Amino acid sequence: MSHAPFSTRRTLWALALAALLALGACAPQNNLPQYDLPRPDLEAFRTRFIEPALPASGLAVRASLLYSTPTRANRTDVQLYGEYARPLRMDVRAGIGTMLALMREDSAGLLAFYPDKSRAYAHSDPVIGAQLLGLPFPFSLRDLAMVISGHFESLVPGEPDSIRVLPRGGFAFSYNQGPVRLLVLDQYGRPESMEGPLSKYFRTQAERDGQPVSGKREWTLKFAAYPEDDGDPAGPARRLILLLPKGDSAVLRVRAVEPRQSWAEKSLALALPAGAHFMSLESRPAPVTASDVITGGGDNAEQGHENAKPGSAS
C-alpha cells in the first residue's frame, strides 16, 4: 500500500486544523443558557428583549447601510438620534460625507428633506411616508430605534398563535395579527429573524422597473453579530439584514449605540431652507420616485400636493 509523502500529509493536517479553527470561530462563544422547549425560550426572549426598561430617554446611533438590488448597490452612512418617544432624526450621508437626506419623525408624522434637489416630503403616518419614499425598513424610525437598541415590544405581539420546532434548534412563533407575523428565536432566546407583510405602499426596484411580484409580498429581517458571541457583554445584534422580494436587500451594520438623556429641542429640529420645494404625500397611491439616495430611485417626483404647509418641521 502506498503512503502519501510527509509534506502532503502535513499539508492535509494543516488544512484540517484550519477548518476546525474556522468552525470554532464561527460557533457562538457565549455562556448563555440553552432552551430545548419553546415556552422557556420565549420567556428568555421576553426577559431580555421585551421587559427591561429603556436605558435612557433617547439614543444616538451610528451605522452604515448597504442597499442592493439585482442590478446595483448603494452604501450610505446613517445617524439615527433623538428621543424614543419622538422626535427622532435620521441623517443619511454618502461614503464621501455628502449629506443626502435629512429626516424627522414626530407626532405629526414624517418629514424628509433632500438637499441636492432642495425638495421636502411629508406624511402624517411615518410608516406610510417612509415607504412611499422607498426607505428599506418596513416600520417607523421609532420601531427601528427600538430594535437597534434590543427592544421588540413595539413590534412583537404578546402570545403566539402557533409554535414550530426548528430542526437546527430554536423555535418559530407565528402571529395572526400585527406587523410581525413570524418570530424565529435561537436556542438562547435571541431573535434570529422576523417576517411580516410588506405594505402596499412599498415597491422594490423590480416593481419600480415594471416587473410584477408574484406570491406573497413579505419582508424578512435577520439578526446577526451578537456581541456575546465574540466574548463581549451581551447586547443587541450589530447587523440587521433585510430581505425583500425580487432580490432587494438592505444590510445595516451598527457601529455604535449610545444612550442619551433629554436631547435639546434645537438638536432635533428640521427647518426647511428658504426656497425648498415642499410636497405632501397624503393622497399619493404610488411611491414617490425622487432621487432617493437610500434606495437609488428615479428622478421623477413632480406629482403630489405641492407647496402645502409642512406642519411640524422644527
- What is residue 210's predicted lDDT score, i.e. its pLDDT? 84
Cβ(112)–Cβ(102) below 8 Å: yes
The enclosing H or E element of 219 equals strand 218-224
3-state per-residue secondary structure call for 248-283: CEEEEEEEEEEEECCCCHHHHCCCCCCCCEEEECCC
Residues 232-260 have a mean pLDDT of 96
**Which residues, listed in sequence order, are joined to residue 252 by a DSSP beta bridge?**
65, 240
Cβ(236)–Cβ(221) below 8 Å: no
Cβ(76)–Cβ(92) below 8 Å: yes
Any idea which of 66-75, 147-156, 261-270, 289-298 has the lowest mean pLDDT? 289-298
- What is residue 283's predicted lDDT score, i.e. its pLDDT? 66
Residue 68: pLDDT band (50, 70, 90) is very high
Q: What gap in Å lies between CA 111 and CA 87, rounded to an integer?
A: 11
- What is residue 211's predicted lDDT score, i.e. its pLDDT? 83
Residue of higher predicted confidence among 20 and 48: 48
Residue 299: pLDDT band (50, 70, 90) is very low
**What pLDDT, in 10s, does the model give residues 71-117?**
899 999 999 999 999 999 999 999 888 999 999 999 999 999 999 99
Task: Please give the CATH superfamily to which domain 58-267 belongs.
Answer: Lipoprotein localisation LolA/LolB/LppX (2.50.20.10)
Kindly tell me if the per-residue pLDDT of 141 is higher than 90.
yes
One-letter amino acid of 27 = A
**What pLDDT, in 10s, does the model give residues 161-171?**
999 999 999 99
Cell of 175: 402571529
- What is residue 303's predicted lDDT score, i.e. its pLDDT? 34
Any idea which of 139-143, 262-266, 298-302, 307-311 has the lowest mean pLDDT? 298-302
Question: Would the CA dihedral through 257, 261, 263, 264 be positive or negative?
Answer: negative
Q: What gap in Å lies between CA 240 and CA 243, rounded to an integer?
A: 10
Residues 243-257 have a mean pLDDT of 94
Q: What gap in Å lies between CA 129 and CA 110, rounded to an integer?
A: 6
Any idea which of 189-193, 201-205, 231-235 has the lowest mean pLDDT? 201-205
Residues 121-143 have a mean pLDDT of 89
- What is residue 10's predicted lDDT score, i.e. its pLDDT? 41
Residue of higher predicted confidence among 302 and 56: 56
pTM of full prediction above 0.85? no
**What pLDDT, in 10s, does the model give residues 2-44?**
454 544 444 444 444 344 334 434 555 689 999 999 999 999 9
Residues 122-129 have a mean pLDDT of 92
Residue 314: pLDDT band (50, 70, 90) is very low
- What is residue 209's predicted lDDT score, i.e. its pLDDT? 82
Any idea which of 101-115, 181-195, 269-283 has the lowest mean pLDDT? 269-283
Number of neighbouring beta carbons within 10 Å of residue 168 = 7
Q: Return the SS3 of 122.
A: strand
Residue 233: pLDDT band (50, 70, 90) is very high
Residues 226-250 have a mean pLDDT of 95
- What is residue 84's predicted lDDT score, i.e. its pLDDT? 97
Q: Alpha helix locations (H) across 149-227?
A: 205-208
- What is residue 12's predicted lDDT score, i.e. its pLDDT? 41
Q: What gap in Å lies between CA 314 and CA 301, rounded to an integer?
A: 24
Q: What gap in Å lies between CA 172 and CA 12, rounded to an integer?
A: 40
**Which residues, listed in sequence order, are joined to residue 73 by a DSSP beta bridge?**
68
Cell of 194: 422576523
